[in-house]
Amino acid sequence: MGAISVGPKDDHRVNSAHVDQETTDPSSRRRPLDRLRRPRRPRIWFELLLIAVSYTVYSYIRNAVPEQVEAAQRHAHQIWDLQQAMGLDFELAVNHAVNDVTWLIVGVNYFYATLHFVVTIGVLVWLFRSHPGRYGATRLVLFATTAVALVGYYFYPLAPPRLMEGMDFIDTGLVHQTWGSLSSESMQNVSNQYAAMPSMHIGWSLWCGLTIAVLARRRWLKVLGALYPVATLFVIVATANHFWLDAVGGLVCLGFGFLVSALWFGSLCYRLPRHIAVEQAAAAAGAGSTVPAPAGPRGGPGDAEGEEPGPDGDGGPPGGGGSGGDGPAGDGRAVGGDGDAARAPDGEGPAERRLPGDGELPRQQRPAQLPAGARRSG
Q: What is the structure's pLDDT at 192? A: 81
Decide if pLDDT at 213 tops 60.
yes
Q: What is the structure's pLDDT at 69? A: 87
Pairwise pLDDT comparison (330 vs 232), residue with the higher score: 232
pLDDT bin (cut points 50, 70, 90) of residue 176 is confident
Nearest CA to 237 among 117, 68, 83, 85? 83
Tell me how crowded residue 18 is: count the other CB atoms within 10 A of its CB.
19
pLDDT bin (cut points 50, 70, 90) of residue 283 is very low
Helices (H) and strands (E) in the chain, counts: 15, 0
Q: For residue 115, what are the contacts with CB-CB under 8 A and spacing of at least 6?
A: 232
Tell me how crowded residue 298 is: count the other CB atoms within 10 A of its CB.
12
Q: What is the structure's pLDDT at 32? A: 61
Q: Tell me the pTM.
A: 0.66
Q: For residue 275, what are the contacts with CB-CB under 8 A and spacing of at least 6?
A: 11, 12, 13, 14, 15, 132, 133, 296, 297
Decide if pLDDT at 342 tops 80.
no
178-187, 297-306, 353-362, 366-375: range with lowest mean pLDDT:
297-306
Q: What is the structure's pLDDT at 348? A: 46
Most confident range, picked from 57-61, 157-161, 315-319 = 157-161
pLDDT bin (cut points 50, 70, 90) of residue 54 is confident
Quote the percentage of the chain above a pLDDT of 70. 58
Element (H, E) at 256: helix 244-265
Q: In Å, how far are 65, 131, 244, 323 from 125, measured between CA atoms?
A: 31, 10, 30, 40
Pairwise pLDDT comparison (30 vs 342), residue with the higher score: 30
Cα 82 to Cα 61: distance, rounded to the nearest angstrom: 29
Cα 10 to Cα 268: distance, rounded to the nearest angstrom: 13
Packed helices 244-265 and 69-86: angle between N→C axes, nearest 10 degrees: 100
Cα 183 to Cα 161: distance, rounded to the nearest angstrom: 12
35-44, 133-142, 357-366: range with lowest mean pLDDT:
357-366
